[in-house]
Chains A and B, each alone.
Chain A
């Protein structure tokens, strides 16, 4: 494919190359535009917003909108900014990511290295959990969380995200372990190593890339979740995505677009940073989850 492109471009005119690069650059601008607009709006004063337009630059570097979004903007009845909700999200995202990744690793290992009768059936059954629209489990889950006394709590959200995230993490690890040669495990079995020993001393050291993929994928999913957050939590227990939506839709007094935009960037920052640092793995997770290995 690459060779073909070379042969093609060698024959193509310079103008053709120019058009391709021009198009690609224009599309880059299109994808970057919302981020630019968010950032520049968040740095403007309300007067500047009214006087200027989407693409006009802020007159100075004012951070009051950011401070307000973090500290004192109203998200419904209370006006304490996003800070509490940010830490809410951190407090359930971290355990949910760690636990679901661990479960996925064990499941993937058991499903590939220790196939038993019906293991493919079990895998297929778990996979369906990736495809259902979650609306179909919301009502029973709300009842259950209430009955268990963990409705509107960190534990409840961790529980929900682990239960419905484990299918994805299992998929990642299973597809990764399928590529590890069987001989490795067979040899260790002959040497007398057991299930757990093989896992911890052979499989786990080989799993670093897929652990990274799983952690990043789960982090992005759970941090960005809105549906579970809005249904299973309320008041000051809500995750940041729900708080952001409340902040933007709170209609008291003058609409402060600069605060809205600062708040949106604050909510997006953790996953954006992860993407900038480890984008390669993020893309791998996306395509692994999508085309199943």
Chain B
């Protein structure tokens, strides 16, 4: 196949333009020219805009941007805002629960699926299909399933347990946990796929050696296989943490931040202040804080990734 591809380039139809020196120069510049628009876009729309948001966060802007310098007043206001603290502590609860359960469920399912299962491909695609759905669809579905009047509570009542109560969706103490339930449903299959790929990549000569030595299977898993999945744990953690910080749609669809603002996350806080409550400066400050949270999580990951690729 390669041979045919190559011969087509040596065909006499090669561009006559090759003869001019100018074209060589152009050809040398083409790769850079091709990259230039993306490069400029990234420079402006990512880096420039981060800077712009940073500037906005230092101004007293409300409905419209106003470029007077206000120092860190917005950040002070942010950290005096009870709702922001609620959003941060929700992020900790949601992020912790979501990441831990996804990792545990993902690993367990991957190990189970790695036992020479018949119809593995079929089962895997069932576990993964929620990833193809929008968080809005997931939120809508779970909002109905968790509906305190007609949802799970009623189902269990119909089974005969009439004093069963399940109203997390309207309970300010518990509403953030409904977000975990729905988010785990959506993302755990993905973590399973990552772990399964990791399991398939393990060199089985070590495992065989351990078996020859008479080590029982659970010990092999505990001592050899799971420790060698360290990189998968690490990258799954980073991805899930990233999803958690960015979570917005799911909360909007499932609880809309409520009851009250008991299930607010930083992303919904930012949206609400920047776009519906006309507090651009405060919104910008909260967006900058979100960026810092992501940086704190992602930078170690990027660093280790770069180090690994340099050695590899």
A: which residues have CB within 8 A of B? Answer: 1-9, 12, 17, 20-21, 23-24, 27-28, 30-35, 37-38, 41, 49-50, 53-55, 103, 106-107, 109-111, 113-114, 116, 119, 122, 124-126, 128-129, 131-143, 163-164, 166-167, 170, 184, 187-188, 191-198, 201-202, 205-206, 220, 223-227, 230-231, 241, 244-245, 248-249, 257, 260-261, 263-265, 267-268, 271-272, 274-275, 279, 282-283, 286-287, 290-292
Instruction: Name the contact of B274 in the complex, choosing from A32, A53, A132, A138 (C-beta under 8 A).
Output: A138
- Complex contacts, A30 vs chain B, CB 8 Å: 185
- 0/1 interface trace, chain B 274-291, chain A, CB 8 Å (1 if under): 110000100110111011
Min CB gap B161→A, angstroms: 12
- In the assembled complex, which residues on chain B have CB atoms less than 8 Å from the CB atom of A193? 9, 14
Alpha-carbon distance between A168 and B253 when the two chains are bound, in angstroms: 26
Also in contact, A241 and B136, with CB within 8 A (given A31-B130, A132-B50, A133-B267): yes
Give me 24 A-to-B residue pairs in the complex whose CB atoms sit less than 8 angstroms apart, sorted by A's number.
A1-B114, A1-B204, A24-B113, A34-B141, A41-B144, A132-B50, A133-B290, A133-B294, A135-B271, A135-B287, A135-B291, A137-B46, A166-B41, A170-B38, A188-B6, A198-B9, A226-B249, A230-B252, A244-B136, A244-B140, A249-B256, A261-B144, A267-B134, A282-B132
Determine if B77 is an interface residue (Cβ-Cβ < 8 Å).
no
**Judging by beta carbons under 8 Å apart, are A4 and B294 in contact?**
no
Q: Which of A1, A188, A272, A287 lies in contact with B202, CB distance below 8 A?
A: A1
Contacts of B280 in A (CB 8 A): 139
Cβ–Cβ < 8 Å partners of B43 in chain A? 125
The reply to whether the CB of B79 lies closer than 8 angstroms to some CB of chain A is no
Q: Are B158 and A9 in contact (CB under 8 A)?
A: no
Q: How far is the CA of A202 from the CA of B267 in the complex (A)?
A: 44
Closest to A293 in B: B309
Cβ of A291 to closest chain B Cβ, rounded Å: 5
Closest residue of A by beta carbon distance from B117 = A24
Cβ < 8 Å to A, chain B residues 92-135? 109, 112-117, 123, 125-135
Please determine whether A287 and B197 come into contact, CB atoms closer than 8 angstroms. yes
Q: Quick check: A34 and B142 within 8 Å, CB to CB?
A: yes
Nearest opposing residue in chain B for A196, CB measure: B30
A contacts with B: majority SS:
helix
Whole-angstrom CA separation of A33 from B152 in the bound complex: 12
- Taking a contact as CB atoms under 8 Å apart, the answer to whether A53 and B150 are in contact is yes
Which of A50, A114, A133 is within 8 Å of B287, CB to CB? Answer: A133
Q: Chain A contacts of B155 at CB under 8 A?
A: 53-55
**Hey, which bits of chain B sit against chain A, CB under 8 A?**
2, 5-6, 8-10, 14-15, 18, 23, 27, 30-32, 34-35, 37-39, 41-43, 45-50, 52-53, 56, 65, 109, 112-117, 123, 125-145, 147, 150-152, 154-155, 157-158, 185, 189-190, 193-194, 197, 199-202, 204, 207-208, 211, 217, 220, 232, 235, 239, 242, 245-246, 248-249, 252-253, 256, 266-267, 270-271, 274-275, 280, 283-284, 286-288, 290-291, 294, 298, 302, 305-306
A112 to chain B, nearest CB (A): 10
User: In the complex, are the beta carbons of A268 and B137 less than 8 A apart?
Assistant: yes
| Across-interface contacts of B141 in A (CB, < 8 A) | 34-35, 37-38, 261, 264
With known contacts A28-B126, A137-B53, A187-B6, A20–B112 Cβ distance under 8 A: yes
Closest to B136 in A: A241
User: In the complex, are the beta carbons of B5 and A184 less than 8 A apart?
Assistant: yes
CB neighbours (8 Å) of B116 from chain A are 2, 5-6, 9
| A107, A110, A133 — most chain B CB neighbours (10 Å) | A133
Q: Which residues of A contact B275 (CB under 8 A)?
A: 138, 142, 231
Contacts of B15 in A (CB 8 A): 194, 197
Q: Are A290 and B204 in contact (CB under 8 A)?
A: no
The answer for the CA separation of A17 and B117 in the assembled complex, in Å, is 9
Give Cα A206–Cα B6 distance, bound, in whole angstroms: 12
By a CB distance below 8 angstroms, the chain A residues around B117 are 20-21, 24
Q: Is the CB of B9 within 8 A of A226?
A: no
Q: How many whole Å from A283's CB to the nearest CB in chain B?
A: 6
* Chain B residues near A131 (CB-CB < 8 A): 242, 294, 298, 302
Tell me the minimal C-beta distance from B299 to chain A in angstroms.
9
**Assembled-state Cα–Cα distance A30/B181 (Å):** 12
Smallest CB gap from B232: residue in A: A291
CB-defined contacts of A31 to chain B, threshold 8 Å: 126-127, 129-130, 185, 189
Contact yes or no, B207 A4, CB < 8 A: yes
Known interface pairs A133-B291, A193-B14, A264-B141; A245-B235 also in contact (CB < 8 Å)? no
Contact B2–A110 (Cβ < 8 Å) = no
Contact of A107 among B5, B35, B48 (CB under 8 A): B35
Bound form: Cα–Cα A223–B117 in Å: 34
- Using known A-B contacts A31-B126, A139-B284, determine if residue A37 contacts B38 with beta carbons closer than 8 Å: no
